[in-house]
């Protein structure tokens, strides 16, 4: 199998070097070791000696090259990447990609084209970098009915929330985001990561391979972390929780909920221990029970590891349906207003008699019951009330929040964060 890499950024350079570093290991694991013969890249990479391969500045040349059997797409984005991948498929090449947006948004079209041409499309590296979670779900857990998947699948948001949570840190979202950018963990335009879109792309794919449903990014509820404050982190800690950006896909019969958002996780849960840029995915299945996967979700080595595993699978000719199922069933997607959860609420209030009673009355009128409550008076900071509710349907919380925000004694908008029940 002759391999062409398109894109020589962080992952492409990591893959290029992995071919050399682990040449012997890979050779022992395949009868017909993959040979790297061409690289398509806009510019060379300082970490890569490209003298042993053909280099082209036009990635479409790799797609057309009759001497290439497997095209590795590492250019990212959707428009050019889609044209490149469809072009390569049309020329009869197998595809390996790390591109979650491409699979989440255009996977159906790409898989259909590949099936027509009898070639494979593999995408392990698109989710959680070095963690082989696609393989775990599509192959390792193939004998199970999977009921839920939950995970921290974006390293940037996990890094920011972890730094904001350091004892005594009291740092703002903007302050830590700037540090993440300086360290290279966050892009100059961090929108995709901090607003949850990157995680939503990944969870779209995870839900499809877990439940056998079509790729439906548009059915996902997506909320990022930019509104989380250091007060939220402190109050959550006082209640025994940390705040993480969590993706949750859950099914019950034909009903499926898909959501990524900031989430309170009890400190004694294993996911609460996943810090910094690390990723983790938990899978709830009927025979194996809950299983958990942990590792680096990004970076040259970890992502190249996942890409190389897909190249080796391609060489071995492993046959797995694209999304793990021979046919997909259309579920009923549950709108976010119909999910049930416990909620953390924080509101600024006037520091005067009767305010607490008013707040509890509004909650009780909407059928929201209080599990825990913290009140900080104005001598310490702005008067604030923090409430942890019992589980309730989200539309009731929405209605209660609207009414709370209309009270004269409530001085801020209400901050609302869902609480995980895993």
Kindly indicate which of the ranges 88-96, 150-158, 306-314, 329-337 contains the residues binding ligand HSE, using the contact rule CB under 6 A: 150-158
**Binder among 154, 208, 222, 314 for ligand HSE (CB under 6 A):** 154
| Catalytic residue IDs | 202
Alpha carbons 138 and 96: distance in angstroms, whole number: 16
CB of 43 to ligand HSE, least distance (A): 21
Alpha carbons 137 and 288: distance in angstroms, whole number: 11
Alpha carbons 96 and 370: distance in angstroms, whole number: 50
Residue 162 binds ligand HSE (CB under 6 A): no
Q: Of the two residues 123 and 343, which places its CB atom closer to ligand HSE in the complex?
A: 123
The helix (run of H) or strand (run of E) holding residue 233 is helix 230-238
With contact defined as beta carbons under 8 Å apart, do 42 and 104 qualify?
no
Q: What residues between 241 and 260 interact with ligand HSE by CB under 6 A? A: none
Please state at what angle helix 155-164 crosses helix 230-238, rounded to 10 degrees: 70
Residue given tokens 């006037």 in the structure block: 350
Q: What residues between 114 and 133 interact with ligand HSE by CB under 6 A? A: 129
CB of 391 to ligand HSE, least distance (A): 30
Task: Provide φ and ψ at 57, rounded to 5°.
Answer: -85, -5
**Read out DSSP for 353-411?**
TTHHHHHHHHHHHTTPPEEEEEEE-TTTSS-EEEEEEPSEEHHHHHHHHHHHHHSTTB-
Kindly indicate which of the ranges 49-57, 152-160, 313-321, 360-368 contains the residues binding ligand HSE, using the contact rule CB under 6 A: 152-160
Q: Of the two residues 34 and 196, which places its CB atom closer to ligand HSE in the complex?
A: 196
| Number of chain positions touching ligand HSE (CB under 6 A) | 8
CB of 147 to ligand HSE, least distance (A): 25
Q: Of the two residues 212 and 297, which places its CB atom closer to ligand HSE in the complex?
A: 297
CB of 105 to ligand HSE, least distance (A): 15
Residue 155 binds ligand HSE (CB under 6 A): yes
Q: What distance lies between CA 27 and its chain's CA centroid?
A: 32
Segment 216-222 long-range contacts (CB within 8 Å, at least 24 positions apart): 216/258, 216/333, 217/104, 217/105, 219/256, 219/258, 219/333, 220/258, 220/259, 220/260, 221/257, 221/258, 221/259, 221/260, 221/261, 221/335, 221/336, 222/195, 222/196, 222/197, 222/259, 222/260, 222/261
Q: In which order are the strands placed within the sheet that holds 70-73?
A: 54-56, 35-40, 2-6, 70-73, 94-97, 121-122
Q: Of the two residues 198 and 394, which places its CB atom closer to ligand HSE in the complex?
A: 198
Q: Of the two residues 129 and 331, which places its CB atom closer to ligand HSE in the complex?
A: 129
With contact defined as beta carbons under 8 Å apart, do 28 and 314 qualify?
no
Task: Provide φ and ψ at 209, rounded to 5°.
Answer: -80, -20
Alpha carbons 282 and 212: distance in angstroms, whole number: 17
Q: Of the two residues 95 and 160, which places its CB atom closer to ligand HSE in the complex?
A: 160
Residue given tokens 């027509």 in the structure block: 116
Q: Of the two residues 4 and 130, which places its CB atom closer to ligand HSE in the complex?
A: 130
Q: Of the two residues 246 and 362, which places its CB atom closer to ligand HSE in the complex?
A: 246
Neighbours of 103 (CB within 10 A): 28
Q: What residues between 336 and 375 interact with ligand HSE by CB under 6 A? A: none
Kindly indicate which of the ranges 154-162, 175-183, 259-267, 407-415 contains the residues binding ligand HSE, using the contact rule CB under 6 A: 154-162
Alpha carbons 243 and 265: distance in angstroms, whole number: 6
CB of 136 to ligand HSE, least distance (A): 18
Helix boundaries (H) for 294-345:
300-316
Residue 198 binds ligand HSE (CB under 6 A): yes
**Binder among 73, 163, 193, 310 for ligand HSE (CB under 6 A):** 193
**Binder among 97, 156, 285, 322 for ligand HSE (CB under 6 A):** 156
CB of 181 to ligand HSE, least distance (A): 12
Q: What residues between 297 and 336 interact with ligand HSE by CB under 6 A? A: 297-298
CB of 160 to ligand HSE, least distance (A): 10
CB of 267 to ligand HSE, least distance (A): 23
Kindly indicate which of the ranges 137-145, 148-156, 266-274, 336-344 contains the residues binding ligand HSE, using the contact rule CB under 6 A: 148-156
Contact residues toward ligand HSE (CB under 6 A) are 129, 154-156, 193, 198, 297-298
């Amino acid at each position: 199998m002759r391999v062409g890499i398109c894109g020589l950024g962080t992952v492409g350079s990591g893959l290029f070097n992995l071919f050399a570093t682990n040449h012997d290991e890979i050779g022992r694991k395949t009868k017909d070791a993959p040979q790297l013969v061409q690289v398509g890249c806009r510019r060379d990479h300082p970490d890569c000696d490209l003298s042993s391969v053909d280099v082209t500045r036009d990635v479409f040349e790799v797609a057309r090259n009759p001497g290439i059997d497997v095209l590795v797409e590492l250019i990212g984005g959707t428009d050019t990447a889609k044209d490149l991948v469809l072009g390569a498929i049309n020329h009869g090449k197998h595809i390996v990609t790390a591109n979650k947006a491409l699979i989440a948004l255009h996977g159906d079209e790409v898989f259909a084209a590949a099936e027509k041409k009898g070639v494979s499309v593999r995408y392990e590296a698109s989710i959680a970098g070095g963690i082989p979670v696609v393989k775990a779900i599509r192959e390792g857990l193939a004998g199970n009915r999977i009921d839920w998947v939950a995970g921290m699948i974006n390293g940037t948001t996990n890094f920011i929330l972890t730094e904001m949570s350091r004892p005594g840190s009291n740092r703002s979202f903007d302050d830590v985001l700037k540090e993440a950018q300086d360290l290279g963990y966050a892009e100059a335009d961090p929108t995709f990561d901090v607003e949850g879109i990157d995680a939503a792309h990944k969870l779209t794919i995870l839900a499809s391979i877990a439940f056998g449903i079509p790729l439906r990014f548009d059915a996902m509820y997506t909320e990022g972390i930019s509104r989380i404050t250091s007060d939220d982190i402190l109050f959550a800690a006082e209640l025994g929780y940390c705040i993480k950006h969590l993706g949750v896909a859950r099914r019950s019969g034909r009903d499926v909920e898909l959501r990524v958002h900031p989430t309170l996780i009890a400190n004694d849960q294993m996911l609460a221990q996943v810090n910094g840029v690390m990723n983790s995915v938990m899978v709830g299945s009927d025979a194996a029970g809950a299983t958990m996967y942990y590792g680096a979700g990004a970076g040259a080595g970890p992502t190249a590891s996942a890409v190389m595993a897909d190249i080796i699978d391609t060489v071995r000719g492993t046959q797995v349906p694209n999304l793990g199922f021979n046919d997909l069933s259309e579920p009923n997607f549950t709108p976010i207003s119909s999910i049930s959860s416990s909620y953390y609420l924080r509101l600024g209030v006037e520091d005067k008699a009767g305010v607490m009673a008013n707040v509890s009355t509004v909650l009780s009128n909407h059928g929201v019951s209080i599990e825990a409550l913290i009140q900080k008076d104005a001598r310490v900071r702005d008067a604030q009330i923090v409430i942890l509710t019992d589980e309730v349907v989200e539309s009731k919380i929405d209605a209660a929040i609207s009414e709370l925000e209309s009270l004269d004694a409530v001085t801020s908008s209400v901050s609302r964060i869902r609480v995980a029940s895993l």
